[in-house]
Structure 1
Amino acid sequence: MKNRILYLDCVSGISGDMCLAALVDSGVPFEELVSGLKGLDIEGYRMEKKEVKKSGLRACKIEIIVTQHRPYRHFKDVREIIRRSHLPDKVKNLSLKAFKQLFEAEAKVHGADPEKIHLHELSAVDCFIDIVGTFYCLDYLRIEEALCSPVNLGGGVVETEHGVLPVPAPATVELLRGWPVYSRGIKRELTTPTGAVILSTAFKPSDTIPMMEIESVGYGAGSMDIEGYPNVLRAITGRKGKEENIRDSILHIETNIDDMNPQVYEYLMERLFEKGALDVYLTQIIMKKSRPGVILNVLCDEDKLEEMTEILLGESTTIGVRFRKLYRQCLDREIREIETKWGRVRFKLVQSPGGTRCSPEYEDCKKIARERGIPLTQVIQTITSMAEELIEGQDE
């Protein structure tokens, strides 16, 4: 099934077992999960699924009962277990990425080498099951886009093998750099390093539930019972409607400049595009004392604010920037390639209410025009016609 989207509501934080249980409750058959995880060469445990209530809400609880304790493991041991497993490649890759990030985060906060550090949390069977099982569920549900709300971290302190640590745990903070987080209401550890690394590996933050056709809602229960507070993770799974592909939010960053060498703008714009700006443009203005100036405008994803601001403040003469959130609606589009007598050329296929239209990639056309000595307009017209014929043939 195409266009499947998942949204995690992290008002009660997130842990590995909560995430796994929420996905099972969203539609992954428990027997399928148990069978799939047999591809992970780990013994000495069994899994149980229970239905519990948390502050009046029904939720799924996945328990890992360890029957044989394993010794400490280094990252190389974890890596070998995952690599030799019989899991889908996508699950393997996400799992390896997650464990690498987790070891690096723990090593950084404890001042150790990731390859030498050994962590009790990672030696436990349930850590493998929580992380690998979650990615197995994402693959089973055919999730194409995974999003989550701002994350409630909790507060207070937590006891670990390293002693008493503040909440959120240092590794959790390290893993969620750049994420919208908060701490409100509960003096308990709501978000664990395992939950944090699942988010940092496979999810993107979103401050609102995306537009979707809801297919299922799952609730994963946490281990703690918190009076008057539903310690659950809600997973909302659905399909993107036609409009969901085209509505989202972006940031508009701008600054007024009247004292910079105009030659610098080209380099500055290149730097911004290299770092992920969606668009950069200049607007001529008349500033105070009738001085001609420029508004430098940058459109970017919300998680690019820090990078864009750093470039603007470091590469231009401005001493400050303004930014605001914008909502946009775009036509659904995708980049495709077509084989031509000049080689492979990319073109943009746009889905509009009136049908489809094709737009050749300008840089590809420009390169052909220069190398072949052909007028650019002729190249664009030829490739547009070829692309339209290709699409019409596929629709028949």
Structure 2
Amino acid sequence: MTTLYFDCFSGISGDMVIGALLDAGADLARMEEELKKLNIESEYTLSKKSVNKNGITAVKFDVDFHNEEAHEHHHSYAHDHAHSHDDHDHGHGHSHSHDHHHHHDHRAYKQITEMIEAAGFNEAVTKMSLAIFKKIGEAEGKIHGLPLERVYFHEVGAVDSIVDIIGAAILIDQLGIEKIYCSPIPTGSGHIHIDHGTYPVPAPATLEILKGVPVARTSIKGELATPTGAAIAAVLAHSFGTMPSMTVEKIGYGAGTKTFKDHPNVLRVVIGTDT
């Protein structure tokens, strides 16, 4: 059985997951091709580069947006704590009660699920993607006191989380992964500043997503686990703990945005077969 282990010694975010899977041998061109089934490829460009994080060579994956105006607009509401901190994936749903005013810069949770269902991915990719989005949508809804159908994602945040979540599902499927394990997740510590005020780390939606998941204590200040990263781990991992017994075949390192003084800000994936 092909097993994957997420070694989250520096947290987890959507872009770190994709970077690590690409570094472990998954194919970016194939992922890009699959993502075209969503018909939103005019909104973004994907890129990957090799970076060095405290002595470790890792892949940095980025989603660049074409609509700068939307990007600026997104900042003005930024309920996305991850934006100015650590490994940005802007990808988390921002729920708004004033949804009727801002249709052009929001995508509803419902629209995103319909988009995934209509894309015609294979069953495994569709199932993984829907489950991860649901996890984030439910957490956001609970924090903001809204039912799922009233949860909205910022336009740019939506594109970012769509690419990170569905991209991760495509790559996991592509690599033939049959079972996923994950280490306990360090969430970081301290506080982050967002438009709503100063919040504790982990942010409320992230903590909600991590219910039932072991979190690890860390002295690092800042947000290490983003909602997208937390949801990928919470939904896909079969169990949490130390590395399972396996014959190691592939290793990948995915870089986060931030650089820390004393340790490499990377996510490590280890892929192998059961011994």
TM-score normalised to the size of structure 1? Answer: 0.58
Q: Is the 8 A contact 1:150 1:205 kept in 2?
A: no
1:305-359 CA-to-partner distances (Å, cap 9, x unmatched) read xxxxxxxxxxxxxxxxxxxxxxxxxxxxxxxxxxxxxxxxxxxxxxxxxxxxxxx
2:186 aligned with 1:147, yes or no?
A: no
Q: Is the 8 A contact 1:121 1:127 kept in 2?
A: no
Per-residue deviation, 1:232: 0.2
> 1:4, 1:74 → 2: CA distance?
35
Per-residue deviation, 1:39: 1.8
2:44 aligned with 1:45, yes or no?
A: yes
2:9 equivalent in structure 1: 11
TM alignment of 1:1-396, pairs within 5 A = 3-43=1-41, 44-68=43-67, 69=70, 71-120=105-154, 123-241=157-275
Q: Is the 8 A contact 1:95 1:135 kept in 2?
A: yes
> 1:81, 1:17 → 2: CA distance?
21
Per-residue deviation, 1:59: 0.2
> 2:36, 2:155 → 1: CA distance?
21
Per-residue deviation, 1:101: 1.5
Task: Mark the CA change 1:212 to 1:121 in structure 2 (over 3 Å): closer, same or farther.
Answer: farther
**Secondary structure of 1:164 counterpart:** strand
> 1:67, 1:122 → 2: CA distance?
10
> 1:139, 1:218 → 2: CA distance?
16
Q: Is the 8 A contact 2:48 2:60 kept in 1?
A: yes
**Secondary structure of 2:152 counterpart:** coil
Per-residue deviation, 1:123: 4.1
Per-residue deviation, 1:124: 3.2
Partner AA of 1:96 in structure 2 = L
Partner AA of 2:151 in structure 1 = I
Per-residue deviation, 1:204: 2.7
Partner AA of 1:163 in structure 2 = G
Flag the structure with larger Rg.
1
122-131 or 223-232: bigger deviation: 122-131
Partner AA of 1:71 in structure 2 = D
Per-residue deviation, 1:157: 1.5
Per-residue deviation, 1:226: 1.2
Partner AA of 1:195 in structure 2 = G
- Tell me, which stretches of 5 or more residues in structure 2 are unaligned? 71-103
Q: Is the 8 A contact 2:27 2:171 kept in 1?
A: no
1:122-166 CA-to-partner distances (Å, cap 9, x unmatched) read 743111111000011110011110000011110112233433221
> 2:254, 2:210 → 1: CA distance?
21
Task: Mark the CA change 1:219 to 1:93 in structure 2 (over 3 Å): closer, same or farther.
Answer: same
Higher relative contact order (CA 8 A, sep 6+): 2
Equivalenced residue count is: 239
> 2:60, 2:4 → 1: CA distance?
19
Identical aligned residues as a percent: 42
Q: Is the 8 A contact 2:65 2:156 kept in 1?
A: no
Task: Mark the CA change 1:132 to 1:160 in structure 2 (over 3 Å): closer, same or farther.
Answer: farther
Structure with the largest fraction of strand: 1
1:71-109 CA-to-partner distances (Å, cap 9, x unmatched) read 211111111111111311211111111111111101111
TM-score normalised to the size of structure 2? Answer: 0.83
> 1:146, 1:121 → 2: CA distance?
30
Q: Is the 8 A contact 1:40 1:87 kept in 2?
A: no
Partner AA of 2:267 in structure 1 = L
1:363-391 CA-to-partner distances (Å, cap 9, x unmatched) read xxxxxxxxxxxxxxxxxxxxxxxxxxxxx
| CA RMSD in angstroms, aligned pairs only | 1.5
> 2:40, 2:197 → 1: CA distance?
29
Task: Mark the CA change 1:48 to 1:22 in structure 2 (over 3 Å): closer, same or farther.
Answer: same
Partner AA of 1:25 in structure 2 = D
